[in-house]
Chains A and B, each alone.
Chain A
Amino acid sequence: MMQRKRETARWIFSKELKDTTVVEETKEGEGRPYIITPLGTRIKRILLCGSVTSRNVEENMTRLTVADPTGSFYLSIFQSEYTPEVKASADTLENNSMVLVYGRINPFKTNEGALYFSVNPEMIIRADSGALNYWSIRTAHLTRRKIYAIREAKKNGAGDIENLVKLGYSRDEAESAINSLKHYGNYNVEAFLEALSMAEKSLVSGGKNAEVRDYILGIIAENSSDGKGCRYEDIVEAASKKDIDQSTVDEVLNILGSDGEIFEVSLKRYKVI
């Protein structure tokens, strides 16, 4: 029987992972470090859901980008003797395939010292839009509770765990809030809440968020080869052909911008990064 202690897989949005700057120190032989996210989640393992937006299959490694409603996760799947099925299932995926993934978080530093996170999947499962919808709603709920706990802890100055538990937060949530204050005192949780609301709005419009996002990203990529960037009017026009209204375009542009997928070259002209 498999009875060794599993490291619980947390459900977090890509934004929470992307904004992470704290990696715990490990002693030799301890394996992967825990990371502490801006919302105070202390994790090694993650369960994520989203749709594949790019893929690069090589013999020894497959790279996948998986979009959730707040941005993207970057997955690296190595050829492994022990779990050949993981890479095999990754290699059958296509763009827009929806997947449920659990895996280990792998922090790495670039030569310039910037910190990034990739996910090394231990399991990749094909999912459907119901799964993505459920995962997103649930993750939004858990994220919101963490943010509310952080707000509450801020109110009480340094905050303490027992106080938060008395207010109805779980011990886990209370510990996260204290962690967040300790490591990310200046993190803008209100901006995260806004990103959440936006993500939820896009979910309500039928879980098609990832498709819309990819479509708009595609338009920008196609129309910015001249170096001046794609015009806003052209995006709106192309989107309208797919029944995507202007306010959705604005939302998606905002999300893409805050995710660092695109940037505004000049006023109302966009380019893919």
Chain B
Amino acid sequence: MNIAEIEGETKGIDVTVKIVSLKQAETKKSSSQGVYYYGILGDETGTMPFTAWNFPTTLRQGDIVEIRNCSVGKYNDSLRIYVDSRSEVLLKPEAEMNVKRVYRNYKIKNITPKDLYISVEGKVSDVIKKNYEKDGSSREVTYFTLSDDTGSIRVSSFGREIMEGRTVKIEGAKVSEYNGRYRLTIFENTPVIMIDKAFDTGKTYDISDVNGPVDQISLAGFAIAISDRSGLLRRCNTCRKMLDDVRCPDHPDDGFFLDLFASFILTDGSGEMHSTCGKAVLSKLLSLGEQDLDPMKTRLTKREVLESLKKALYGRPFLMKGDAVQGENNLNYRVKEITELDEKGISKLLLEMEADLA
């Protein structure tokens, strides 16, 4: 049986497959101490994860094997091959096989590291190239942002040229988590296909739809519960740490600069999101200039800034754009743009909501 032919849970099947990846783990059950294996099996038609309770210990990644009398079950919503003591595993040392990799397609907003390799489409922007040293030679890594109609994600490309402004489909990008954000990594041999597709960016999402980290997502709602830590703050000129006082304990002579910060909860009726924003957004919102943030010239007090922040944010609907980042306890929305929703903005949202009901 080919992997592509497996359509649902079944028992007693035989497959000839290549071991695409192989990992070992210890069984947690106290009754039967031992190890089991898991990973991915593949043939010319596709791939499937597997779990083997019983597996020859000398098998290696890349080996081709015939597995007789294995079963297929469901785990975490996806099909999986199970090998147990009733199965028989035979090594095929002479055989050759080109495994067809099939990756699940993801919208950027829905990417999770549950699938290690995925397929994704989007438009390339913010391309930056950097050099790094490896094995004594200089190599190039390209960083870029990939955006579809649901959000954006940063991608690191090792050894693959990427053109600014192109729309691409990437097959087999590797998903990882870094600093509370999801990232993709692609390599020299990762297929990147030019496609002709326009993405309608800027759809406003329900907070309840945002289940994991994603960059550049639009949300709308009211700001409530502005934290009293918000407003004007002092930061050390050297380490940028927030100061309770006029001096940094570690750099007492280095002075400080003034910064703006806000922490609040965004509510849209579908859920709530811890949100923060910084100087770029707040100086615009509060119409503060460089003078106001100059520690020598400013006449502003912490209390005044907090009060005017509350006045500006409370009781008005806003459209926001920013990055959802995984924090210790919850997602944190780092807001990069804030616009008050006027009648036109509300009508536009209403149309989006109605389309969602159709």
Q: Which residues of A contact B (CB under 8 A)?
A: 2-3, 6, 8-11, 47, 100, 102, 123, 125-128, 130-131, 133-135, 137-139, 141-142, 144-145, 148, 170, 172
Confirm or deny: B224 has a beta carbon within 8 angstroms of a beta carbon on chain A.
yes
Residue among A126, A127, A138 making CB contact with B269, cutoff 8 Å: A138
Q: Is the CB–CB distance between B342 and A130 below 8 Å?
A: yes
Chain A residues whose CB sits within 8 angstroms of the CB of B346 once the complex forms: 130, 133-134, 137
Q: Which residue of B lies closest to A143 (CB)?
A: B269
Confirm or deny: B244 has a beta carbon within 8 angstroms of a beta carbon on chain A.
no
Residue among B208, B209, B268, B341 making CB contact with A130, cutoff 8 Å: B341
Chain A residues whose CB sits within 8 angstroms of the CB of B357 once the complex forms: 141, 144-145, 148
Q: Which residue of B lies closest to A168 (CB)?
A: B356
Residue among B271, B314, B349 making CB contact with A125, cutoff 8 Å: B314
* Nearest CB in chain A: distance from B283 CB, A: 23
Residue among A47, A130, A139, A144 making CB contact with B317, cutoff 8 Å: A130
How far apart sit A84 and B101, CA to CA, in the bound complex (Å)?
63
| B: number of interface residues (CB 8 Å) | 30
How far apart sit A138 and B269, CA to CA, in the bound complex (Å)?
8
* Nearest CB in chain A: distance from B268 CB, A: 7
Q: Is the CB–CB distance between B316 and A131 below 8 Å?
A: yes
The 9 closest A-B pairs by CB, nearest first: A11-B269, A134-B317, A127-B315, A125-B315, A125-B314, A141-B353, A142-B269, A100-B315, A134-B346
How far apart sit A131 and B353, CA to CA, in the bound complex (Å)?
17
Residue among B209, B269, B272 making CB contact with A139, cutoff 8 Å: B269
Q: Is the CB–CB distance between A170 and B208 below 8 Å?
A: yes
Chain B residues whose CB sits within 8 angstroms of the CB of A10 once the complex forms: 269
Chain B residues whose CB sits within 8 angstroms of the CB of A9 once the complex forms: 224, 267, 272
Chain B residues whose CB sits within 8 angstroms of the CB of A8 once the complex forms: 267, 271-272
Q: Is the CB–CB distance between B209 and A170 below 8 Å?
A: yes
Confirm or deny: B227 has a beta carbon within 8 angstroms of a beta carbon on chain A.
yes
Q: Which residue of B lies closest to A171 (CB)?
A: B208
* Nearest CB in chain B: distance from A136 CB, A: 10
Confirm or deny: B63 has a beta carbon within 8 angstroms of a beta carbon on chain A.
no
If A128-B315, A137-B346, A148-B357 touch, does A123 touch B270 (CB 8 Å cutoff)? no
Q: Which residue of B lies closest to A99 (CB)?
A: B315
Chain B residues whose CB sits within 8 angstroms of the CB of A139 once the complex forms: 269
What 16 new A-B contacts, CB under 8 Å, besides A8-B271, A137-B349? Answer: A47-B269, A100-B222, A125-B224, A127-B315, A130-B316, A130-B340, A130-B343, A134-B317, A134-B341, A137-B346, A138-B349, A141-B354, A148-B357, A170-B209, A172-B208, A172-B270
Confirm or deny: B350 has a beta carbon within 8 angstroms of a beta carbon on chain A.
yes
Confirm or deny: B58 has a beta carbon within 8 angstroms of a beta carbon on chain A.
no
* Nearest CB in chain A: distance from B328 CB, A: 8
Q: Which residue of A lies closest to B207 (CB)?
A: A8
* Nearest CB in chain A: distance from B300 CB, A: 22
In the complex, 11 of the A-B residue pairs with CB atoms within 8 angstroms, ordered by the A residue number, are: A100-B222, A123-B224, A125-B315, A130-B317, A130-B340, A130-B343, A137-B353, A138-B269, A141-B353, A142-B269, A172-B208
Chain A residues whose CB sits within 8 angstroms of the CB of B315 once the complex forms: 100, 125-128, 131
How far apart sit A131 and B314, CA to CA, in the bound complex (Å)?
10
Q: Is the CB–CB distance between B270 and A137 below 8 Å?
A: no
B residues 329-358 touching A (CB-CB < 8 Å):
329, 340-343, 346, 349-350, 353-354, 357
Residue among A47, A141, A145 making CB contact with B224, cutoff 8 Å: A47
Chain A residues whose CB sits within 8 angstroms of the CB of B317 once the complex forms: 130-131, 134-135
Confirm or deny: B206 has a beta carbon within 8 angstroms of a beta carbon on chain A.
yes
Chain A residues whose CB sits within 8 angstroms of the CB of B97 once the complex forms: none
B residues 260-278 touching A (CB-CB < 8 Å):
265, 267-272
* Nearest CB in chain A: distance from B343 CB, A: 7
If A9-B272, A170-B209, A170-B270 touch, does A123 touch B316 (CB 8 Å cutoff)? no
If A125-B314, A131-B222, A138-B268 touch, does A2 touch B353 (CB 8 Å cutoff)? no
How far apart sit A127 and B340, CA to CA, in the bound complex (Å)?
13
Q: Is the CB–CB distance between A123 and B225 below 8 Å?
A: yes
Q: Is the CB–CB distance between B272 and A133 below 8 Å?
A: no
How far apart sit A9 and B225, CA to CA, in the bound complex (Å)?
12
Q: Which residue of B lies closest to A127 (CB)?
A: B315
Q: Which residue of A lies closest to B206 (CB)?
A: A170
How far apart sit A3 and B267, CA to CA, in the bound complex (Å)?
17
Q: Is the CB–CB distance between A142 and B270 below 8 Å?
A: yes
Chain A residues whose CB sits within 8 angstroms of the CB of B340 once the complex forms: 130
B residues 280-331 touching A (CB-CB < 8 Å):
314-317, 329
How far apart sit A145 and B346, CA to CA, in the bound complex (Å)?
18
Q: Which residue of B lies closest to A11 (CB)?
A: B269
Q: Which residue of B lies closest to A207 (CB)?
A: B343
How far apart sit A2 and B269, CA to CA, in the bound complex (Å)?
21
How far apart sit A123 and B226, CA to CA, in the bound complex (Å)?
11
Chain B residues whose CB sits within 8 angstroms of the CB of A131 once the complex forms: 222, 315-317
* Nearest CB in chain A: distance from B186 CB, A: 32
Q: Which residue of B lies closest to A134 (CB)?
A: B317
How far apart sit A100 and B315, CA to CA, in the bound complex (Å)?
6
How far apart sit A145 and B271, CA to CA, in the bound complex (Å)?
15
Chain A residues whose CB sits within 8 angstroms of the CB of B208 once the complex forms: 170, 172
How far apart sit A11 and B220, CA to CA, in the bound complex (Å)?
14
Q: Is the CB–CB distance between B316 and A127 below 8 Å?
A: yes
How far apart sit A271 and B208, CA to CA, in the bound complex (Å)?
44
Q: Which residue of A lies closest to B350 (CB)?
A: A137
Give the residue among A8, A170, A172 with the most B Cβ atoms within 10 A. Answer: A8
